[in-house]
Amino acid sequence: MSETPAQLWRALVSEDPSRPFVTSYDASGGRVELSRATFDNWVSKTANMLVDGLGAQPDDRVVLALPVHWQSLVWLVSCWSVGAVAEFAPPGADLPEGAQVAVADADRLEAALDSGAEEVVGTSLHPLGLPLAEVPPMVLDYSVEVRGHGDHFSPYPVDPGAPALRGSGVRTGAELAAGGRRWAERWKLGAEDRVALFAEPDAPLTRLGEGAELLLAPVAAGSPVVLTPLASVGPEEVLRRTGMEKVTVAVGVDGGSDGAPVFPAGSPFRTVEPI
């Protein structure tokens, strides 16, 4: 029977809500850790915001002009929970036009407004959830708006064969879920692993893979995720963070001219091939 990404997520939360799900470091070294239950609370609030605040319907397009960040992961799972089609905005380019909702960080709010989206949401991505420093007219501040929405959301009965993600192509929910399980098996991920995803602060969401595999494979395997920069913090700090977080696997990082991953010497984790 075909699965959807929302079903993968619900199974993970139901198994053990208290386990860590994502630990995120920002450019300044600030650290935020969210358990499955806490992350799910953000997903529920955001899904309720999509439906009750933004009028989102199944099959609506939600363009995400965001970098790799824990809030970006929340938006992806929330879109899949309501049956909306998440769409990666290409980095450094105009946003796709005609979407029902566009979500952007402060640097791309004007582009989001210019895209003609029916609703535009801005987020500061501040580690403590602070509001945007400036909110242009016709923009909703995510950090302010989301807090007023409910803590519980029952995922819609989504058709696994319906589109769920747009990038260079279109993937259905069933294809995304199956891809997550396939890559988890290929990378030999398990619940005892902690998976490091190295992404610079401006890394686009396409960094997750065309099928969001770097999110869905850990979800399928039950592996907590650690988000941290690599190049901008230096090898010593990378080793300190990965050691403290007990990282066992680093996945999907392109590096040298031969395409092989590049990690600090003496890294205490195994590496798997990039997508």
Q: Which pLDDT tens digit goes with each residue over 3-23?
A: 999 999 999 999 999 999 999
Residue 209 lies in a domain: yes
Residue 58 lies in a domain: no
Residue 118 lies in a domain: no
Is-contact 90 71, C-beta < 8 A?
no
Per-residue pLDDT band at 262 (split at 50, 70, 90)? low
CA distance 109 to 105: 6
Give residue-wise pLDDT tens across range 215-244. Answer: 999 999 999 999 998 888 888 888 899 999
* Radius of gyration (C-alpha) of the chain in whole angstroms: 18
Neighbours of 94 (CB within 10 A): 12
Structural domain boundaries enclosing 232: 170-272
CA distance 49 to 230: 33
Per-residue pLDDT band at 254 (split at 50, 70, 90)? very low
Residue 134 lies in a domain: no
Residue 179 lies in a domain: yes
Q: Tell me, what's the pLDDT at 260? A: 43
Residue 129 lies in a domain: no
Is-contact 74 43, C-beta < 8 A?
yes
Residue 215 sits in a domain of what CATH number? 3.40.50.980
Token pair 């397009």: residue = 61
Residue 29 lies in a domain: no
Q: Distances from the Cα of 130 to the Cαs of 34, 125, 141, 218, in angstroms?
A: 17, 8, 10, 28
Count: domains in the chain = 1
Q: Tell me, what's the pLDDT at 274? A: 67
Smallest CA-to-CA distance from 200 within 251, 236, 253 is with 253
The residues near 253 (Cβ < 8 Å, ≥ 6 apart) are 197, 198, 230, 261, 262, 263, 271, 274
Give residue-wise pLDDT tens across range 93-116. Answer: 789 999 999 999 999 999 999 999
Residue 141 lies in a domain: no
